[in-house]
Structure 1
């Protein structure tokens, strides 16, 4: 469980900020992180080959802001997830907590302090939350992620946007070991998903809070926007038909087996076997476990149908 905090000393949170062509939104995001209350914030930023002046702006800001450290790029990562993976590997290993930060959101002032408190009270190695999405036109909506967690939901979905994550030192340490040993092995295409898998496979507590802590900006450059609307649904269905989701589930099941404790290993082995096979018996066995695979009841019915018909 998370390390005990020293009374009277603010908890240290290393905020890992990945950037790529985000110059137009970055000042507002960075200011909201630096304005966090009740914690000692340190920001470690790594730019991924921006062409809009983002990297230069970060260096200029770091010259006058001691809480911001720019990690020199060692080459283009190719994706936001890969950039975050490098941040996990290159950030200091001795902070009590870590948080992921996108370049284009806005954090409410109590985000980190609230999640640190929940981590301590619940013994949670990971905390995430709902978010409020917003557009340039002023449209706002709740993106709800706090449906009750299910036994194997971590193989098919993350516990919310990575920008809401607060993670314990030991959770990041295990993940760092995985990344350091990965070499050419494939990694999940979403960094937040990996952290959730590690925590749940080891039997550690993860809390998804109902209170939104991030203003989640929606724009045409989002890597993965809020999962709302018909356009989003069609996009995700296309990924299902292309077997992308099943491939990620296979990959994540393998990672779960690498880190699982003895108590959770047998059930993960069985689930991994069902995800690998596509014969009729395996499909129906997996479909019967649909209520364990997704948190939202509607999604449980949908995934059961997709699995049993062979689409997933």
Structure 2
């Protein structure tokens, strides 16, 4: 008689900071998952609103082996998530980022694990996807974008196509993040994860079926920019030095993993970096050679204008 297949263990990585208002609904949505082979690792950045007390009550209910609480670095959300994914002693087969104020639909983990199991062992892989947008009261207000272009490194250098709260990655992808380290000047942990997995030849699946209620409210550090007004704001951002500084940070961080980039992506990065330093004609030439792109025609128009005026 053959043995039943081993179920991959999922480590849910939850970062909290003064999130008690919505946290209970998020924790309950973990408990309602159809895929139950998970543990919760929480990194709290110094909450003062009762978040820690709420987590302690769930820990007492679930057990310390199901919910482990850590003190975060108190350097912002990106540093908190990186400290958690790179934490020594963290052992699992899959790793799921989670925000404190969303609600997971019951099949979220099951869909992610099912896809990740289809990827050959040792190949870095990242599951992500669409979300249902809800307001502070949990009422649905729309869907996140369904991107038309494929995921890839040339896109990742320019934008992150998925929210971190949808991301689940395998151990090979996590190993790359570990190698790069947690002390990095990256803009966001999820954007960095997308860059790393695609750059190092990994696979990305953007699930068109939403499995998460993404709460939009005043306390969001980063919300979903799905309206035309928000998209235009993103395009206008290309005109400011902030976008150029973000690219500086990501390029510097990639120095830690340059030896892991597959040859085509190493070439893309080199052409992108050269384009940012060139005069007008050289800038256009190396921009074209790099092949970098955004997901929408409006975004690509904004990108071309940013290249022309050296704002990228």
Return the TM-score normalized by structure 2.
Answer: 0.87
Structure 1 runs of 4+ aligned residues shifted over 6 Å read: none
Q: Distance in 1 between matches of 2:289 and 2:262?
A: 22
What runs of 5+ residues in structure 2 fail to find an aligned partner? none
| Residue 91 (structure 1) shift | 6.1
Q: Tell me the residue number matched to 2:268.
A: 267
Question: Among residues 167, 170, 188, which one is paired with 1:168 in the alignment?
Answer: 170
Q: Tell me the residue number matched to 1:129.
A: 129
Q: Tell me the residue number matched to 2:210.
A: 212
Corresponding residue SS for 1:50: coil
| Residue 241 (structure 1) shift | 3.1
Question: Is residue 39 of structure 2 the alignment partner of residue 42 of structure 1?
Answer: yes
Q: Distance in 2 between matches of 1:133 and 1:8?
A: 36
- Aligned pairs for 1:1-312 (under 5 A) are 7-66=4-63, 68-73=66-71, 76-90=73-87, 92-123=89-120, 125-136=125-136, 138-147=139-148, 148-179=150-181, 182=183, 186-229=184-227, 232-233=230-231, 235-237=233-235, 239-259=237-257, 260-264=260-264, 265-275=266-276, 277=277, 279-285=279-285, 288=288, 292-312=292-312
The Cα RMSD (Å) is 2.4
What runs of 5+ residues in structure 1 fail to find an aligned partner? 1-5
* Contact preservation (8 Å) 2:235, 2:302: no
Q: Distance in 1 between matches of 2:299 and 2:239?
A: 16
> 1:172-202: CA deviations, max 9, x gaps?
122122125x4xxx42121001111111111
Q: Distance in 2 between matches of 1:82 and 1:46?
A: 11
* Contact preservation (8 Å) 2:42, 2:69: yes
> 1:30-88: CA deviations, max 9, x gaps?
111122113401000111111211122112221221254333315x5231111111111
> 1:89-114: CA deviations, max 9, x gaps?
22644311000000000111111111
Q: Tell me the residue number matched to 1:3.
A: none
The alpha-carbon distance between structure 1 residues 26 and 158, as it changes in their structure 2 partners (threshold 3 A), is same
The alpha-carbon distance between structure 1 residues 82 and 46, as it changes in their structure 2 partners (threshold 3 A), is same
Q: Distance in 2 between matches of 1:205 and 1:102?
A: 23
* Contact preservation (8 Å) 1:288, 1:304: no
Q: Distance in 1 between matches of 2:256 and 2:87?
A: 22
* Contact preservation (8 Å) 1:12, 1:95: yes
Q: Distance in 1 between matches of 2:129 and 2:109?
A: 11
* Contact preservation (8 Å) 1:132, 1:214: yes
The alpha-carbon distance between structure 1 residues 11 and 262, as it changes in their structure 2 partners (threshold 3 A), is closer
Corresponding residue SS for 1:31: helix
| Residue 122 (structure 1) shift | 4.6
| Residue 207 (structure 1) shift | 1.2
Return the TM-score normalized by structure 1.
Answer: 0.87
The alpha-carbon distance between structure 1 residues 292 and 267, as it changes in their structure 2 partners (threshold 3 A), is closer
